Amino acid sequence: MKLFVLIFTSLFFTVSYSYSQNFEYFDTDKEVLWGINKNSWGGLLGGGVLKFSNKISDNQFKTIGFELVNIKHPKENRYTSSIGYGRTFIWGKKNYLFSLRAQYGRETILFSKKDQQGVRINAQVAAGPSIGLKVPYYIKYSRNNRMYIENFDPSSQTFNNVIGSASFLEGIDELSIKPGINIKAAINFEFSPSKSTTAIEVGFLGDFFPGGVDIMPTAKEYSFYPTAFITLFYGRKY
């Protein structure tokens, strides 16, 4: 958390300092970007991102973004079942948590391209509402030589009788919503020489869900989920 505050503060002063510099004119009025996200709470693949940017001055854009990412509890571990022929499961997990985020922000050009082969570096801050989508996590469980599909219950289940994870769709009809908010600070590196663009964005983001979310009932429950992330963007300039 201290690292998050330090980097966020440094980013703020970097953006503030950039206003005193001379910027080259950049002839992009709009940008539409979509990407895939990897973050410290989301496992191998965090989720998907969509971002719209509109120029409001020679060196600044206003941005509207949407993200759908998977949030995992830090205590989650995947195990291989001893009776499930190689199937895996997460012991102690009761719910999936997905965050559907809407974000409004500002993106400032710190360094413009000197030529078509150069790199443009932007700094962005954004915030908005988060909709937490909580979906029950089901496992396949062996009891009395029969297989049952059950939600995690430590009072009636043992580790060695788990066959594996059930389908995600088993709990989709029990989806519930947890409202929250999010805030993001990031640096964007755009290096495409044409109207089609490729970019990498790195930064920090925090989701806050008042009251917490019971992803794993036997572990600590969190209300605030700070995360470092990297997003690979593709898109189009207009």
Note the pTM of the prediction, 2 decimals: 0.83
pLDDT confidence bin for 237, thresholds 50/70/90: confident
**DSSP string of 174-226, one letter each residue:** G-EEEEEEEEEEEEEEE--SSSEEEEEEEEEEEEEEEEEE-SSTTS--EEEEE
Place of tokens 């009776």: 83
Report, as an integer, the average pLDDT of 153-175: 94
Report, as an integer, the average pLDDT of 66-86: 93
The answer to whether 218 and 92 are in contact (CB under 8 A) is yes
Helix (H) or strand (E) holding 11: helix 2-18
Report, as an integer, the average pLDDT of 174-181: 97
Which pLDDT belongs to residue 36? 93
Which pLDDT belongs to residue 131? 98
User: Of 163 and 26, which is predicted with more confidence?
Assistant: 163
Which pLDDT belongs to residue 148? 96
Cα 190 from Cα 178, distance rounded (Å)? 34
Q: Where are the beta strands (DSSP E) in the chain?
A: 30-39, 47-57, 60-71, 78-80, 88-90, 95-111, 120-136, 138-143, 146-151, 162-165, 176-190, 196-213, 222-237
The answer to whether 216 and 137 are in contact (CB under 8 A) is no
Percent of the chain with pLDDT over 70: 85
Q: In degrees rounded to 5, what are phi and psi of residue 27? A: -90, 20
Which pLDDT belongs to residue 39? 84
pLDDT digits (tens, 9 = 90+) for 179-235: 999 999 999 999 876 788 899 999 999 999 999 999 999 899 999 999 999 999 999
Cα 134 from Cα 180, distance rounded (Å)? 12
pLDDT at 116 over 70: no
Per DSSP, the three-state class of 156 is coil
